């Protein structure tokens, strides 16, 4: 028994020593860019990293989101407006990050944004409904990642993609699950391809967090809009009971 306890303690010490070797040192002067910081995970992460001493550049969709974040963080935290569905907005954000990093490169990119609605039976959707989700939750994130790669290579930084694990369970139609599976594949491919430049790519699969971005009321309103848009033939085929359930 004593030998078992001793071995366990030695293993624990060894684990702690190995783990601590991978801790990030000298946090000051390291820039991290985070998307979708108005609320939720991005907002919390921006505040936490700011307190840790990183130079955070937080992208927000709204002006209110920028103001709220700046009011409760250090003067070193910078914000920029970003609409991932708008290529010109992405270009402006990339220029802002380039100027802020001032030749140092980008230590970290955290992709957090996601397109949400509409989610509905596939038969109720049009192709533009898929575009509205994928342009934010997949295409926009890929575009800004590609445009920031030169800065990440310069700093031998890392990319962290936050992916809602529930989106990997394909239970309902629409672009939401497609965007999550797409980001998984993009991350896995990119990780292999840019390891030559000492740039790391990580995926964090988190659970669902209720934020201001999405709510059950919003989803229900959108389902009602789609239901009312259907032709009488399709509505009759599904029936009112199907819609209510």
**Furthest CA-CA distance within the chain:** 76
Rounded CA Rg of the chain: 21
Beta-carbon contacts of 66 under 8 Å, excluding residues fewer than 6 positions away, are 58, 60, 79, 80, 81
**Is residue 15 flagged as an active site residue?**
no
Could you tell me where the beta strands, DSSP code E, fall in the chain?
A: 31-34, 55-60, 78-81, 108-111, 158-164, 200-206
**Strands of 105-169, DSSP E:** 108-111, 158-164
Residue 106, both tokens? 């980008």
Between the two ends of the chain, the Cα-to-Cα distance in Å is: 58
Catalytic residue among 15, 176, 238, 242: 176
Q: Is there a contact between 175 and 125 (Cβ–Cβ < 8 Å)?
A: no
Active site residues: 176
């Amino acid at each position: 028994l004593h030998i078992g306890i001793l071995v366990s303690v030695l293993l624990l010490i060894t684990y702690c020593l190995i783990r601590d070797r991978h801790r990030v040192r000298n946090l000051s002067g390291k820039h991290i860019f985070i998307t979708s910081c108005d609320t939720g995970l991005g907002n919390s992460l921006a505040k936490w990293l700011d307190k840790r001493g990183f130079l955070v550049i937080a992208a927000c969709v709204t002006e209110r989101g920028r103001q709220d974040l700046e009011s409760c963080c250090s003067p070193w935290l910078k914000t920029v407006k970003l609409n991932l569905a708008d290529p010109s907005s992405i270009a402006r954000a990339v220029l802002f990050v380039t100027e802020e990093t001032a030749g140092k490169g980008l230590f970290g990119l955290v992709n957090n944004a996601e397109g949400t609605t509409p989610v509905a039976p596939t038969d109720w959707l049009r192709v533009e409904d898929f575009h509205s989700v994928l342009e934010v939750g997949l295409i926009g994130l890929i575009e800004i990642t590609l445009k920031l790669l030169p800065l990440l290579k310069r700093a031998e930084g890392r990319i962290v993609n936050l992916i809602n694990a529930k989106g990997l369970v394909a239970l309902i139609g629409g672009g939401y699950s497609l965007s999550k599976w797409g980001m998984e594949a993009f991350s896995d491919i990119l990780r292999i391809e840019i390891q030559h430049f000492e740039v790391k790519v990580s995926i964090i699969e988190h659970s669902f967090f209720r934020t201001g971005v999405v709510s059950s009321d919003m989803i229900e309103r959108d389902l009602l809009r789609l239901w009312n848009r259907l032709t009488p033939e399709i509505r009759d085929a599904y029936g009112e009971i199907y819609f209510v359930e």
